[in-house]
Amino acid sequence: MNIVNLSEEMLSAFDGDRFDLEKWKSYMDACLPGAKEMCLEDMQETLNAGFSWENDYLPVLNTVICDKARRESTVETFCGITAHLEEKIFKNFHRTLDVDLVLYLGLCNGAGWVTSINGRSTILFGIEKIMELDWCGKEKMTGLIFHELGHVYQEQYGVLRIEPESMPDKFLWQLFTEGVAMVFEQEIAGDPEYFHQYGSEWKQWCDEHADLIKQSFNADLSSMTSENQRYFGDWVSFNGYGDTGYYLGARFVRFLMDHDHFDDIISYDIKEVKTGFESFLRQNV
């Protein structure tokens, strides 16, 4: 496991107190070759969905240079959490992970993004999104880092990526993999009820409306698209609450663990996930 901190280099992406896209491209080429194009492509997809560069992107990016104290606090927290990460993972799962953890300045591509760069399994931690979501403190950032490592764990010891045959399969698989990552995160945290995304009020609402979330997700599956899905991301809302898909995914995987071991579940194919979800629908969450 390699820890890469690009917090000093990222300052070169600004012209005074304003983000400069061309300077950012140079920064990426110098510090993280191979990542620039995929960040730009991801950003363009979001802009195509109706978001604005001036209103939705620039304010978030500019905060990184303007709020020096919070930026430095975020970097310090990241370094503290990652200092003894391998030992915690091995203690809980008795396995190691071959992955690069990179703290960088992205284009609002996500607080955490599991990908591959030049053949290396990589997690990109976007400082701009971490600051926007206010996940700068130890508890929430710990959850974020553990969650993304859960995706890597499934990738290296199970099956993370498939080629879905339909949109319903795509979103059911997303529910499953996010649930795996949430359970991985909870196991390292030592609390099966832990969710890093929001506070106790979010958790209480989800607990009280668990069956509504489950049945609504199932009802939406046949018509769900990246543009209309309501369950994954801080920018979408289900009855006024974001990220309910992470809650539901964790409940789904916990349900599967009543009948199978976690290290076997992470190797499920889509047919096994579908069968498990059908059983899950018949049970109280």
Judging by beta carbons within 10 Å of its beta carbon (0-12, 13-18, 19+), is residue 119 exposed, middle or buried?
exposed
Q: What percentage of the chain carries pLDDT values higher than 70?
A: 99
Average pLDDT (24-31) is: 98
Helices 167-189 and 270-282: angle between axes, nearest 10 degrees: 80
Question: Residues 249-269: pLDDT tens digits?
Answer: 999 999 999 999 999 999 999
pLDDT of 21: 98
Q: What percentage of the chain carries pLDDT values higher than 90?
A: 88
Contacts of 265 by beta carbon, 8 Å cutoff, 6+ apart: 158, 180, 253, 256, 257
Average pLDDT (70-74) is: 97
Average pLDDT (192-207) is: 87
pLDDT of 283: 87
pLDDT of 285: 58
Structure-block tokens of residue 208? 């009280």
pTM, full prediction = 0.89
Three-state SS across 69-121? HHHHHHHHHHHHHHCCHHHHHHHHHCCCCCCEEEEECCCCCCCCEEEEECCEE
Question: Residues 182-191: pLDDT tens digits?
Answer: 999 999 888 9
- Look at residue 86 and tell me whether its pLDDT is greater than 70: yes
**DSSP summary character for residue 241:** B
pLDDT of 148: 93
**DSSP summary character for residue 194:** -
Question: Residues 209-225: pLDDT tens digits?
Answer: 999 999 999 999 999 99
Structure-block tokens of residue 281? 């629908």
On whether the CB atoms of residues 145 and 202 are closer than 8 A, the answer is no
Q: 50 falls in which pLDDT band (50, 70, 90)?
A: confident
In angstroms, what CA-CA distances link 27 with 20, 71, 96, 170?
A: 10, 18, 31, 34
CA distance 184 to 22: 38
Strands (E), the chain: 2-5, 14-15, 18-19, 100-104, 113-117, 120-126
Average pLDDT (78-88) is: 92
**DSSP summary character for residue 271:** H
Query: Strand 120-126 and strand 113-117: pairing?
Result: antiparallel
Average pLDDT (100-105) is: 98
CA distance 170 to 167: 5
Greatest mean pLDDT range, 14-23, 46-55, 230-239, 276-285: 14-23
Which contiguous run of DSSP H or E holds residue 135?
none
Greater confidence, 97 or 140? 97
Phi–psi pair at 101, nearest 5 degrees: -105, 115
Mean pLDDT of the chain: 94
Average pLDDT (17-42) is: 97
Average pLDDT (171-180) is: 98
Helix (H, G, I), strand (E, B) or coil at 159: coil
